[in-house]
Amino acid sequence: MICLSSALISSIGVNLISSQWAWFTVYFALIAGGKDPESNDQSHQEHLSALITTLEYNEVPAEQVTIFWADGESPEVDRRLPSPKRESLAWVVEDTPWAGWFERDTLLANTRWESHIVYPAKRKALRAWFTSLRPKIKPHDSIVLAVTDHGRPDPQGGWKSSIELWGEQLSVEELYQDLQLLPEEVTIQLWMSQCFSGGFARLATMDSRVCGAFSSTAQRPAFGCFSLPNKEGVQGHFMHFNQGLKQSGRLNIAARWTVEHDQTPDTPHLSSDAFVRRVVDEKAEALGIPPGHIIDSALPPLDKLSDEQLLVVKSITHSSLRYNLGLSHSFTRVSELIKEVTQLQYTLDAWRTQWASLIHEARLRLLKQAPVDGFTQVRKRSKLRQKRERLKRWVTKALRRGKEGRRGLLRELYQRLSRSEKLLDQLKTIEAVLWRISTLYAGLSAGAVLTPHDLKLWEGMRRCESKPIFAPRYASKTQKKRKRDNARISSAFQTISEYQSEVESLRPGYLAFQYRERSRATKLEVRDIDYGSPLWAVDLQVGDYIESLEGERLRYPGQVREMVALHPIGEWMSLKRRRNRRARALHIPVVGAPLSPPPPKRGEPIPPLLLDPIIEGERLNYLMTGGQPTLLYFWASWCPECLRVAPQLKRWAKRHDIQVLAITSEDPHLVRAVNDSSPLPFVMLHDRGREASRLFNVDLQAKRAPVFVYLDVERRFIERGVGMGDRGPQQIELLFEEN
């Protein structure tokens, strides 16, 4: 095996290189596993190529760089090529059975690396490389492990992340064991851009030789896992870090460059940053106070900041101005902004889910009317092409025929969905930037927050992070150019208050009543009216029928839901209701859709539920204070699937000794009438005000299937399932056995 020697930094022709840089050697290992050919993205190859260009620019000989790439030098395919440009009508068939008609075959290719040593991205090959360095490596030499790959989080939510190598995984513990093959006194610098890469920051506390820069925390995905890569010109952590490294040659300076310039939801940070935040969080939890109280009280006065601390403060200011964050003058203030943005994300995601449900139904309704058979044998390529072209012509004409042809206002729904997704991406970026700023504040307080022992560990990490990787060429010109670029900061991001207004503008309209569609959806039967609904102010009662809305007769299921959702909030709608063969026109205002509270996390107790017994004299035990786990079974009398599963559910509950509570938001009088003819074998409860339904995100009108919520004997939330699929009640036995 040919082993690497490092880049001996030459001082010929570069007057900026200090003599102290020439006495140690740096070894480079570029790692990109990719898992398998279908998962190994083109971006991995582009990242390594960009880094190789940087090394060549800084006169690092090619024979001193080793690549651990996918299957190595095997002639088999090992990389997925970028997907072709989408069809113009692909948005119409997205998430439908017709979507496969417009998908292109995945193109795979074999990657060749010229003039470089290439090994397969396997743990065995990496260990062999570490072993081969032992006889050549000297004290104070450095090893740089640059990783661009996929990553997996810790299933328990901790720090035990892993890297996807070629057909295998490499965990934090396994990498720690492999690093012990290297001699002592060698510096090991990690540069990782995979998802959940921050879990490997723990290596710095396990081994004092290790430090690193990471694209995300142990609990967060990296840029490649978000939807932003579809936006042209947007680069993630690896490319920005590479640019900063090219200018500075040091991990710590490249990390600060990335913090200031990365416009993605990445959370770039150093191992020393992760260490300080972990110590502060543990201390705050032990004292029972917010972390901001500890950090803000430990911030040094402005007139006593060192030169390095002044650069950190400038980075905070730069980020605040660039993203229109206003005055972010303390860790506590940044934490408040993070809460505001997180709440906006939750709200917007709730609206996006509703728009996605509406457009999915509208797409299916439109495509089911197309004169094209939906079942096509894939092997008959010519027939599939003919059907695809015929479907495209039919959809194009349908979209041009006005309201009747659009079959549910498809374009309007798609515009709302697209805008909500774009806005959600921006909010994710802002939340990530706020996390970066809070991390910088934590670093400023390290000197006063850490104990002497922890401070010694932190200072060792900082020395490791500041150790040069190579001497950058023409650094003075680069710094001058950067100063000119920072002379004027322009922002394409809105203020938090502007985001709040735009999120509110995407709220769907709502009439706050439950209904059942009758007679092929030509009329609706009012089954229940929510508390506080504007319908209480007009002459509308349970049992009435609605025949038209805004002068338009009802023609298909979901029409009322779509029309109300797209109607401006606060404006009035006209409807025609019929009662006892008498019709009357009514005018009602449209209100904003209610926002459900965040659902409880797994293992958290649920709040008290306002549930009333529907059948008088029934034993009510919904407080679940002992003895049995509980299944909350959300149903409706107009939902055939909900009623069909009841006998199976009864047998299952008896076999496992689990109490089942049947919860409905329908009018209790109607439920009693239904129960007289087809009684349910469970305790039936009325969800007064639909608070329980909102807590667990129950929307029977959209799903048309029962919703199950699993609780343990202490009323702690375990799992939520819809219908009788993979997460339905047949899986509850395993779920409870795990707890």
Is residue 87 situated within a structural domain? no
Q: Are 152 and 169 in contact (CB under 8 A)?
A: yes
The model's pLDDT over 238-285, given as tens digits with 9 standing for 90+, comes to: 999 999 998 888 999 999 999 988 888 999 999 999 999 999 999 999
The model's pLDDT over 343-354, given as tens digits with 9 standing for 90+, comes to: 999 999 989 988
Is residue 103 situated within a structural domain? no
Q: How many helices (H) and strands (E) does the chain have?
A: 25, 26
Instruction: In whole angstroms, give the CA distance from residue 426 to residue 149.
Output: 24
Give the CATH number, domain containing residue 582. Answer: 2.30.42.10
Same-domain check for residues 272 and 217: yes
Retrieve residue 201's tokens.
Answer: 């920051």
Is residue 4 situated within a structural domain? no
Number of domains in the chain: 4
Q: Which of 237, 589, 615, 562 is nearest to 413 (CA)?
A: 562
Instruction: In whole angstroms, give the CA distance from residue 581 to residue 547.
Output: 12
Instruction: In whole angstroms, give the CA distance from residue 399 to residue 626.
Output: 58
Same-domain check for residues 499 and 539: no
Instruction: In whole angstroms, give the CA distance from residue 710 to residue 600.
Output: 12
Q: What is the mean pLDDT of residues 674-683?
A: 79
> C-alpha angle 178/180/181, rounded to 5°?
75
Instruction: Kindly list the strands in the beta sheet with 162-164, ordered across the sheet, starting from the edge strand earlier in the chain.
Output: 151-152, 162-164, 169-171
Is residue 197 situated within a structural domain? yes
Instruction: In whole angstroms, give the CA distance from residue 298 to residue 305.
Output: 13
Flag the least confident range among 134-138, 373-377, 481-485. Answer: 481-485
In this structure, the strands spanning 162-164 and 717-722 are: unpaired
Is residue 2 situated within a structural domain? no
Domain range holding 432? 300-369+407-444+485-506
Q: Measured between alpha carbons, how far is residue 146 from residues 25, 50, 118, 191 in Å?
A: 16, 12, 14, 5
Same-domain check for residues 213 and 267: yes
Same-domain check for residues 126 and 240: yes
Instruction: In whole angstroms, give the CA distance from residue 512 to residue 592.
Output: 9
Half-sphere exposure of residue 194, counting CA atoms within 13 Å on the CB side? 30
| pLDDT score recorded for residue 490 | 56
Same-domain check for residues 665 and 558: no
Is residue 178 situated within a structural domain? yes
| pLDDT score recorded for residue 395 | 87
| pLDDT score recorded for residue 473 | 65
| pLDDT score recorded for residue 656 | 80
* Entry pTM: 0.82
Environment class of residue 370 by beta-carbon count within 10 Å: exposed (0-12), middle (13-18) or buried (19+)?
middle
Same-domain check for residues 500 and 626: no
Same-domain check for residues 456 and 415: no
Same-domain check for residues 61 and 181: yes
Environment class of residue 632 by beta-carbon count within 10 Å: exposed (0-12), middle (13-18) or buried (19+)?
buried
Same-domain check for residues 144 and 187: yes
The model's pLDDT over 450-477, given as tens digits with 9 standing for 90+, comes to: 999 999 999 999 999 999 988 776 544 4
Instruction: In whole angstroms, give the CA distance from residue 692 to residue 9.
Output: 66
Q: What is the 3-state secondary structure (H, E, C) of 205-216?
A: HHCCCEEEEECC
Same-domain check for residues 241 and 343: no
Q: For residue 664, list its beta bridge partners.
A: 686
Average pLDDT over the chain reads 82
Alpha helices, DSSP H, located in 134-171: none
Neighbours of 605 (CB within 10 A): 13
Instruction: In whole angstroms, give the CA distance from residue 283 to residue 277.
Output: 10
The answer to whether residue 171 scores a pLDDT higher than 50 is: yes
Q: Are 362 and 409 in contact (CB under 8 A)?
A: yes
Half-sphere exposure of residue 460, counting CA atoms within 13 Å on the CB side? 17
Is residue 598 situated within a structural domain? no
Flag the least confident range among 166-180, 269-283, 672-686. Answer: 672-686
Give the CATH number, domain containing residue 725. Answer: 3.40.30.10
The model's pLDDT over 323-373, given as tens digits with 9 standing for 90+, comes to: 989 888 899 999 999 999 999 999 999 899 889 888 988 888 888 888 887
Q: 509 pLDDT band (50/70/90 cuts)?
A: very high
Same-domain check for residues 242 and 325: no
> C-alpha angle 67/71/76, rounded to 5°?
130
The answer to whether residue 211 scores a pLDDT higher than 90 is: yes
Instruction: In whole angstroms, give the CA distance from residue 269 to residue 511.
Output: 47
| pLDDT score recorded for residue 236 | 83
Q: Answer positive or negative: Cα dihedral of 15, 21, 24, 26.
A: negative
Give the CATH number, domain containing residue 230. Answer: 3.40.50.1460
Q: 379 pLDDT band (50/70/90 cuts)?
A: low
| pLDDT score recorded for residue 408 | 52
Is residue 663 situated within a structural domain? yes
Same-domain check for residues 230 and 116: yes
Environment class of residue 168 by beta-carbon count within 10 Å: exposed (0-12), middle (13-18) or buried (19+)?
middle
